[in-house]
């Protein structure tokens, strides 16, 4: 079975579990909404300020909420020790990484769609002008984010103090996603989507590097 | 201790083994967790096709030993081979051919019994047409369509048994397989062991249950992480 | 033993350690002399500029130690010899010191010069991100209960972080360039010869300091491992002739 098919099997399994458990709807999206409302309250009712900061707040909400998604992705592996089952299977361990990243990617994209709608309403963000840039920013940014989170989510699976380490590790490493994502989104919203190709290129480079590195070394995280 | 680097066929199918490769051969095997040694200097040979009973009190290290053999854990000291493949360097080959039925069922709670088995088939490259038959055999024919989350402990273990039926591993390791099962379930485990032995596959059965394990040809005893001294099996073909 | 291993053995022996310590001490003294006495104050910034003789070398070491962590991580994953993990860990622990130094000195420099403690300068900001990654690396090392797992997890973080940081730097630099704010280091065109010399002396001195601290840390690490091995040996009936003689340590033949 090729790497692609193995990854697809893992991804399909994760997606099916997510649909059954409805964790994204039940916990992740409400958390993002709560975060956004908190942002709005803390920055005050000045409309112009909120509009200017909206792209940043949007990505921050996604970033924080994504931590929940990554945890959940590995929680289902931890309930009955299924992760060990994946380790002991004669599949390329990178398929576990790629499959889980793909499944989380799908979840995060759904989350982002909801967050974008919320931000449009709460902060008066206008989405019209450069949909291609906007979509590009979210897709490329989410690939990188999903890769980083799915890689280190392994550390969050077992008990002990590991859960606190996970955000500390992931958020700094995901800095390029935050910076480039926000910049590209801000340009798209300001009808200057054409200028964003540098940022999109950066996101692409980040994606290639992180997915590539993960594919090579992920297996090492599983062995004991 | 033979050690192969190619994807050679397994013991059970090798036509003319002059000296049969041991199913398990361990030398000085030790596994430490932090500063706590769980198994200490285990020297062991189990020939192909043997059915071995492993007894010992709680905390004796039976679980750790089985987990090291199936390569879920790596040894801290010592070396070994399983089915002729090196314990440290040829783990994928061992994983393809050995299975551990242990404390944890390795199931996904939100998937149905059938979906769990289908996924396991896809991981091991097994045709999933046998899934329904396996579910029937373990008595989960109808329950196979419900989520594992709704299963009792005994039902969960039966799914794991069904997985073993589908996989037909050359080396079958069982760690307290009778716990949580009713009489019918325990008989099911026994039938699996007998079937495997009949096909020349190797079985190691670790259990407290004094009433079970009569089909074993040999008994090993563990305590405090060590194996009670046991003579080598009679030379089969030397 | 290969040349690299021979060199390592020489450096980590007690004599080597003392030699490095002496070299570091001399180097630091020379740096202080150069930086405080020999070089003139900067035309624009005055004496505050002298902080550069600490800031640049410590930044250099912060990134050098990170490079060492990366190389050791890769070599460890390839060879599975635990000595590379020990070196990576030592380098990381020493590296954190230099990162903190870089950030603190950078801050102190920024306050009188630009009026704020933090200027989001790309190099400083990337260094701050690197600091967080290091903290996470060291925190993760405390979690597993086996040296093999700890080494593997650390190696993965070391590798992924290393390939990520250049991208972080690039993104911060682009982000900053849109806001026309000055970088902390704008030294090249106006350097007097003595200033350049002082910088070089500083870099060399700090490198010796780094090497000395790493060797020191490796020795402490060996003592720790011996303690563990001795705690185990009565139960294992193994005399710890070779600390942590993990199967990974023994070269595998056949």
Contact flag C236-B79 (C-beta cutoff 8 Å) = no
Mean pLDDT of A152-173: 79
Helix (H) or strand (E) holding B37: strand B36-46
> Which chains would you list as touching B if contact means 3+ CB atom pairs under 8 Å?
A, C
Q: A–B: how many Cβ contacts below 8 A? A: 65
Mean pLDDT of C229-245: 61
The domain in which residue A37 lies consists of 3-222
Q: How confident is the model at residue A163 (pLDDT cuts 50, 70, 90)?
A: low
B20: alpha, beta or left? (left if phi > 0; alpha if psi -120 to 50): beta
Compute the distance between CA of residue C179 and CA of residue C135 in angstroms, rounded to an integer. 30
Contact flag C247-B88 (C-beta cutoff 8 Å) = yes
Q: Shortest CA distance to A72 belongs to which of A111, A130, A123, A120?
A: A111
For residue A213, count CB atoms less than 10 angstroms from its CB and return exposed for 0-12, middle for 13-18, buried for 19 or more: buried
What pLDDT, on a 0 to 100 scale, did the predictor assign at position B13? 52
Contact flag A80-B122 (C-beta cutoff 8 Å) = no
What is residue B48's three-state secondary structure?
Answer: coil
Mean pLDDT of B73-82: 91
Q: How confident is the model at residue B146 (pLDDT cuts 50, 70, 90)?
A: very high
Which among B77, B84, B224, B225 is the top mutation candidate for probing chain C, defined by the most C β-carbons within 10 Å of its own β-carbon?
B77
> What total of structural domains would you count in chain A?
1
What pLDDT, on a 0 to 100 scale, did the predictor assign at position B18? 58
Q: Does any domain span residue C232?
A: yes
| Chain A residues lying within 8 Å of C136, measured CB to CB | 165, 168-169, 172
Q: B–C: how many Cβ contacts below 8 A? A: 37
> Which chains would you list as touching C if contact means 3+ CB atom pairs under 8 Å?
A, B
* pLDDT digits 0-9 by tens, B96-139: 999 999 989 999 999 999 999 999 999 998 988 999 999 999 99
pLDDT at A37 over 60: yes
Concatenating the DSSP letter of every residue in C104-169 gives: HHHHHHHHHHHSSS----HHHHHHHHHHHHHHHHHHHHTS-SSHHHHHHHHHHHHHHHHHHHHHHH
pLDDT at A31 over 50: yes
CB burial string C132-169: b at 16+ within 10 A, e below: bbbbbbbebbeebebbbbbbbbbbbbbbbbbebbebbb
Contact yes or no for B35/B48 (Cβ under 8 A): no
Q: Which of B70, B74, B110 is the closest to A17 by Cβ?
A: B110
C240: number of CA atoms within 13 Å, CB side? 18
Which among A7, A88, A220 is the top mutation candidate for probing chain B, defined by the most B β-carbons within 10 Å of its own β-carbon?
A88
User: What count of residues does chain C have?
Assistant: 254
pLDDT at C63 over 50: yes
Q: Does A117 touch chain C (CB under 8 A)?
A: no
Q: Does any domain span residue C242?
A: no
Q: Does any domain span residue C155?
A: yes
Q: Which of B100, B106, B119 is the closest to A13 by Cβ?
A: B119
Contact flag C167-A205 (C-beta cutoff 8 Å) = yes
Backbone angles phi, psi at B222, to 5 degrees: -120, 145
Contact yes or no for A32/A117 (Cβ under 8 A): no
Q: Shortest CA distance to A115 belongs to which of C140, A123, A203, C54?
A: A123
Mean pLDDT of C172-182: 71
Q: Does any domain span residue C250?
A: no
What is residue C246's three-state secondary structure?
Answer: coil
Contact flag A81-B95 (C-beta cutoff 8 Å) = no
What pLDDT, on a 0 to 100 scale, did the predictor assign at position C133? 92
pLDDT at A207 over 70: yes
A166: number of CA atoms within 13 Å, CB side? 26
Mean pLDDT of A64-91: 91
Q: Does B84 touch chain C (CB under 8 A)?
A: no
pLDDT at B38 over 60: yes
Q: Does C245 touch chain B (CB under 8 A)?
A: yes
Mean model confidence pLDDT for chain A? 89
Q: Does A129 touch chain C (CB under 8 A)?
A: no
Q: Does C149 touch chain A (CB under 8 A)?
A: yes
**Residue B79's beta-bridge partner residues?**
B27
What pLDDT, on a 0 to 100 scale, did the predictor assign at position A129? 67
Residue of A nearest to C143 (CA): A162
| Chain A residues lying within 8 Å of B106, measured CB to CB | 80-82, 84-85
Q: Shortest CA distance to B189 belongs to which of B227, B216, B170?
A: B216
Q: Does any domain span residue C34?
A: yes
Contact yes or no for C197/A210 (Cβ under 8 A): no
Residue of B nearest to C145 (CA): B34
The domain in which residue C157 lies consists of 3-40+49-180+191-236
Q: Does any domain span residue C175?
A: yes
* pLDDT digits 0-9 by tens, C192-222: 777 888 888 899 999 999 999 999 999 998 8
Mean model confidence pLDDT for chain B? 86
pLDDT at A202 over 80: yes
Residue of B nearest to A224 (CA): B73
| Chain C residues lying within 8 Å of B75, measured CB to CB | 247
What pLDDT, on a 0 to 100 scale, did the predictor assign at position A142? 97
pLDDT at B156 over 60: yes
Compute the distance between CA of residue A94 and CA of residue B229 in angstroms, rounded to an integer. 42
What pLDDT, on a 0 to 100 scale, did the predictor assign at position A162? 61
- Within 10 angstroms of residue B9's Cβ, the number of other Cβ atoms is 9
C-alpha dist (Å) from residue C180 to C44, C120, C127: 20, 12, 20
Q: Does A16 touch chain B (CB under 8 A)?
A: yes
> C224: distance to nearest CA of chain A, Å?
22
| Chain B residues lying within 8 Å of A6, measured CB to CB | 123
Which among B1, B26, B35 is the top mutation candidate for probing chain C, defined by the most C β-carbons within 10 Å of its own β-carbon?
B35
pLDDT at B235 over 60: no
Lowest mean pLDDT, pick from B203-207, B214-218, C137-141: B214-218
> B219: distance to nearest CA of chain C, Å?
24
Mean pLDDT of C110-114: 82
> What total of structural domains would you count in chain C?
1
pLDDT at C143 over 90: no
Mean pLDDT of B208-221: 85
C122: number of CA atoms within 13 Å, CB side? 23
For residue B88, count CB atoms less than 10 angstroms from its CB and return exposed for 0-12, middle for 13-18, buried for 19 or more: middle
Q: Which residue do the tokens 């499959």 mark?
A: A99
Residues of chain B with pLDDT > 90, as a percent, come to 65
Compute the distance between CA of residue A222 and CA of residue B71 in angstroms, rounded to an integer. 12
Q: Does C247 touch chain B (CB under 8 A)?
A: yes
Mean pLDDT of C13-40: 84
Contact flag B105-A21 (C-beta cutoff 8 Å) = no
Return the top range by mean pLDDT from A99-108, B5-14, C5-14, C111-120: A99-108
Q: How confident is the model at residue C189 (pLDDT cuts 50, 70, 90)?
A: low
Contact flag A173-C160 (C-beta cutoff 8 Å) = yes
Compute the distance between CA of residue B175 and CA of residue B101 in angstroms, rounded to an integer. 6
């Amino acid at each position: 079975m090729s790497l692609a098919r193995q990854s697809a099997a893992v991804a399909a399994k994760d997606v099916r579990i997510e649909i059954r458990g409805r964790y994204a709807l039940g916990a992740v999206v409400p958390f993002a909404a709560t975060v956004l409302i908190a942002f709005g309250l803390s920055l005050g009712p000045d409309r112009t300020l909120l509009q200017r900061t909206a792209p940043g707040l949007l990505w921050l909400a996604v970033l924080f909420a994504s931590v929940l998604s990554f945890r959940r992705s590995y929680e289902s592996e931890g309930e009955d020790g299924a992760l060990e089952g994946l380790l002991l299977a004669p599949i390329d361990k990178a398929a576990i990484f790629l499959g889980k990243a793909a499944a989380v990617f799908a979840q995060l994209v759904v989350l982002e769609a909801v967050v974008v709608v919320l931000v449009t309403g709460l902060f008066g963000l206008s989405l019209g002008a450069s949909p291609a840039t906007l979509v590009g920013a979210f897709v490329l940014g989410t690939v990188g984010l999903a890769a980083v989170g799915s890689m280190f989510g392994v550390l969050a699976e077992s008990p002990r103090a590991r859960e606190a380490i996970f955000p500390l590790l992931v958020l700094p490493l995901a800095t390029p996603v935050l910076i480039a994502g926000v910049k590209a989104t801000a340009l798209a919203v300001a009808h200057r989507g054409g200028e964003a190709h540098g940022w999109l290129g950066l996101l692409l480079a980040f994606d290639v590097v992180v997915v590539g590195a993960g594919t090579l070394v992920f297996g090492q995280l599983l062995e004991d | 201790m033979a050690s192969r680097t190619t994807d050679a066929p397994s013991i059970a199918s090798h036509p003319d083994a002059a000296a049969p490769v041991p199913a398990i051969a361990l030398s000085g095997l030790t596994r430490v967790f932090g500063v706590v040694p769980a198994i200490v200097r285990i020297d062991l040979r189990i020939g192909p096709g043997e059915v071995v009973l492993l007894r010992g009190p709680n905390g004796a290290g039976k679980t750790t030993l089985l987990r090291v053999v199936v390569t879920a854990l790596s040894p801290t000291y010592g070396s070994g081979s399983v089915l002729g493949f090196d314990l440290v360097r040829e783990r994928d080959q061992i994983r393809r051919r050995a299975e551990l039925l242990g404390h944890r069922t390795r199931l996904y709670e939100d998937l149905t019994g059938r979906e769990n088995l289908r996924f396991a088939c896809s991981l091991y490259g097994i045709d999933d047409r046998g899934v329904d038959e396996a579910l029937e055999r373990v008595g989960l024919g109808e329950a196979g369509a419900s989520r594992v989350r709704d299963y009792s402990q005994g039902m969960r273990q039966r799914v794991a048994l069904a997985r073993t039926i589908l996989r037909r591993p050359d080396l079958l390791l069982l760690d307290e397989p009778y716990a949580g099962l009713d009489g019918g379930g325990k008989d099911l485990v026994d039938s699996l062991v007998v079937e495997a032995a009949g096909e020349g596959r190797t079985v190691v059965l670790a259990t407290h249950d004094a009433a079970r394990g009569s089909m074993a040809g040999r008994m090993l005893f563990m305590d405090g992480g060590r194996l009670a001294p046991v003579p080598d099996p009679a030379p089969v073909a030397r | 033993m290969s040349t690299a291993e021979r060199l390592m053995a020489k450096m980590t022996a007690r004599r080597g350690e003392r030699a490095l310590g002496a070299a570091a001490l001399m180097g630091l003294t020379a740096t202080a002399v150069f930086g405080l006495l020999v070089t003139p104050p900067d035309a624009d910034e005055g004496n505050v500029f002298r902080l550069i003789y600490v800031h640049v070398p410590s930044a250099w070491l912060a990134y050098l130690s990170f490079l060492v962590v990366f190389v050791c991580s890769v070599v460890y994953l390839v060879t599975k010899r635990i000595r590379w993990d020990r070196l990576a860990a030592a380098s990381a622990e020493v590296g954190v010191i230099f990162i903190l130094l870089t950030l603190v000195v950078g801050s102190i420099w920024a306050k009188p010069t630009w009026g704020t403690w933090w200027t989001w300068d790309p190099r400083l900001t990337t260094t701050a991100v690197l600091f967080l990654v290091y903290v996470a690396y060291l925190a993760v090392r405390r979690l597993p209960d086996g040296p093999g797992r700890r080494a593997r997890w650390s190696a993965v973080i070391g590798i992924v972080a290393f390939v990520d940081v250049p991208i972080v730097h690039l993104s911060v630099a682009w982000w900053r360039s849109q806001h026309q704010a000055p970088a902390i280091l704008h030294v090249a065109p106006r350097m007097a010869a003595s200033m350049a010399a002082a910088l070089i002396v500083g870099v060399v001195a700090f490198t010796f300091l780094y090497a000395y601290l790493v060797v020191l840390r490796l020795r402490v690490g060996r003592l720790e491992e011996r303690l563990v091995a001795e705690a185990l040996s009565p139960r294992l009936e193994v005399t710890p002739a070779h600390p942590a003689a993990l199967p990974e340590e023994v070269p595998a033949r056949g």
